[in-house]
């Protein structure tokens, strides 16, 4: 599983943090395969980890939720990368 690091404290605003928490809450209500992994990747955003697989898992969600996840993903992907970029 590859990921990119970013400094969440310098880059992420309160609106994005709230959206991530809202998505996590709604994922708890959905019965989706790999829900634990999906939520773990969303929580990882708070630590500055952007997992590439988040995009793939978003495709298994209902369209409205997938759109919200992809918006958060693309927002985070535009943040400046940390020194240790991709693993």
Pairwise CA distance, residues 28 & 78, whole Å: 27
Q: How confident is the model at residue 55 (pLDDT cuts 50, 70, 90)?
A: very high
Neighbours of 23 (CB within 10 A): 21
What pLDDT does residue 67 have?
A: 96
Q: How confident is the model at residue 84 (pLDDT cuts 50, 70, 90)?
A: low
pTM: 0.88
Residues 6 or more apart whose CB falls under 8 angstroms from that of 45 comprise 8, 12, 20, 72, 76
pLDDT in tens, 18-50: 999 999 998 877 777 778 889 999 999 999 999
Q: What tokens were used for 11?
A: 């880059």
Pairwise CA distance, residues 8 & 30, whole Å: 27
Q: Which of 15, 14, 9 is nearest to 68 (CA)?
A: 15
């Amino acid at each position: 599983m590859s990921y990119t690091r970013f400094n969440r404290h310098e880059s992420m605003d309160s609106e994005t943090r709230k959206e991530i928490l809202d998505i996590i809450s709604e994922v708890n209500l959905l019965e989706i395969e790999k829900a634990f992994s999906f939520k773990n990747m969303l929580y990882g955003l708070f630590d500055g980890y952007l997992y590439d697989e988040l995009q793939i898992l978003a495709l298994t969600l209902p369209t409205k939720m997938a759109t919200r996840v992809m918006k958060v993903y693309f927002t985070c992907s535009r943040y400046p990368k940390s020194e240790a970029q991709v693993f």
